[in-house]
Amino acid sequence: MSISPLKLQTILPPVYKGFISSKIMSLDVTETKATCDNCLRARDRRFSFTYKKELKCCTFHPYLTNYAIGALLEQDEIQQQSTGAHQGISKNQGIQKIRNKIAEREFAFPIGMMAPFDYQYAFLTKSDDQFGNDENLLCPYYNRGQNRCDIWMFRGVVCTSFYCRSDYGQDGQKFWAVFSDYLSYVEMALAEECLVQMGFSPRDISDQLEFLNKREFEAEETEQKQISPAIDKSLWIGYDDKISFYKKCFAIVKNLDRNQFKEILGPQGLSLEKEVVEYANRRKN
């Protein structure tokens, strides 16, 4: 029996459907070798080391954009309303973690949510074989009971574009790397656009970016899980209701059309968009 092709749009957050080029959205991204439900890397001994099947490649704490957080919170509220559940407490453990991180100033910024410094330090200094094996590195949004991602629909670029093996070999891996560059660019451009529309200055934005992908840590930062109330207050420039802020970011992105998106991406982003299609076509040769 032949397998029907998997279009790229089915693995992307639905919010992008309104404005990412249809040439990209309709690309065939069928990958049959990276069998995530029965993780290939937990059983294929041709890799230099295997992963634990209950951790897979989710020993990673992704950055989530402000609009993805807004989408998850909005979706969760709709779900709560439809079931008559208690407002503000999520049945989805991953989304509840997001709520807790917001409440506890755990690196929840206007630009999005990122790994706290203690995690960033542990991840940066890990040995290769800790990836896939060290449960201290497990993603906060991973559902251990069900062995799957709790926020799959709005997971970020790294999670969307990582395939431990491709049906197209090196060409396939190159395609995913180019796609990852493009989607990272899109995520950052849109998250920043939300901030501009919400009144943040370029300086306010760069102050937040300093917390993402830090490379050097002071001793106390290697254990830091939260942002101090004073720094948090200055980074949020007066926004008190963070949940409603994130939902507004989602509304901004949801309402973009293709022309507005192209303007936000600019020439560099549009050239990355072309490269994605180009590398997808090379993959077929």
Under the criterion CB under 6 A, does residue 114 sit at the interface with ligand SF4? Answer: no
Under the criterion CB under 6 A, does residue 71 sit at the interface with ligand SF4? Answer: no
Under the criterion CB under 6 A, does residue 155 sit at the interface with ligand SF4? Answer: yes
Other Cβ atoms within 10 Å of 3 Cβ, number: 7
Write the CB contacts of 117 (distance below 8 Å, at least 6 apart in sequence).
Answer: 107, 211, 214, 217, 221, 222, 223, 224, 225
Q: Closer CB to ligand SF4, residue 131 or residue 239? A: 131
Residue carrying structure tokens 């901004």: 252
Cα end-to-end span (Å), the chain: 24
Which amino acid makes up residue 16? Y
Of the candidate residues 8, 19, 41, 249, the single one contacting ligand SF4 (CB under 6 A): 41
Of the candidate residues 12, 16, 29, 60, the single one contacting ligand SF4 (CB under 6 A): 60
Q: Which stretch binds ligand SF4 (CB under 6 A): 58-66, 196-204, 206-214, 229-237?
A: 58-66
Under the criterion CB under 6 A, does residue 164 sit at the interface with ligand SF4? Answer: yes
Q: Closer CB to ligand SF4, residue 162 or residue 217? A: 162
For CA atoms 17, 19, 22, 23, give the dihedral sign.
negative
Find the shortest distance in angstroms from Cβ 49 to ligand SF4.
12
What is the 3-class SS of 76-118, one letter each residue? HHHHHHHHCCCCCCCCCHHHHHHHHHHHCCCCEECCEECCCHH
Q: Closer CB to ligand SF4, residue 51 or residue 200? A: 51
The phi and psi torsions of 148 (rounded to 5 degrees) equal -155, 170
Find the shortest distance in angstroms from Cβ 48 to ligand SF4.
13
Q: Is residue 233 a contact partner of residue 207, using CB atoms and an 8 Å limit? A: no
The phi and psi torsions of 128 (rounded to 5 degrees) equal -55, -45
Q: Which stretch binds ligand SF4 (CB under 6 A): 50-58, 79-87, 243-251, 270-278?
A: 50-58
Under the criterion CB under 6 A, does residue 159 sit at the interface with ligand SF4? Answer: yes
| Residue 123 CA to its chain's centroid (Å) | 17
Under the criterion CB under 6 A, does residue 142 sit at the interface with ligand SF4? Answer: yes
Find the shortest distance in angstroms from Cβ 115 to ligand SF4.
11
Of the candidate residues 121, 141, 175, 185, the single one contacting ligand SF4 (CB under 6 A): 141
Of the candidate residues 15, 27, 29, 39, the single one contacting ligand SF4 (CB under 6 A): 39
Find the shortest distance in angstroms from Cβ 163 to ligand SF4.
5
Under the criterion CB under 6 A, does residue 163 sit at the interface with ligand SF4? Answer: yes
Calculate ∠ Cα 113-116-118, nearest 5°. 165
Q: Is residue 17 a contact partner of residue 261, using CB atoms and an 8 Å limit? A: no
Other Cβ atoms within 10 Å of 255 Cβ, number: 11
Q: Which stretch binds ligand SF4 (CB under 6 A): 28-36, 66-74, 77-85, 208-216?
A: 28-36
Q: Which residues bind ligand SF4 (CB under 6 A)?
A: 34-36, 39-41, 51, 56-58, 60, 62, 139, 141-142, 149, 151, 155, 159, 162-164
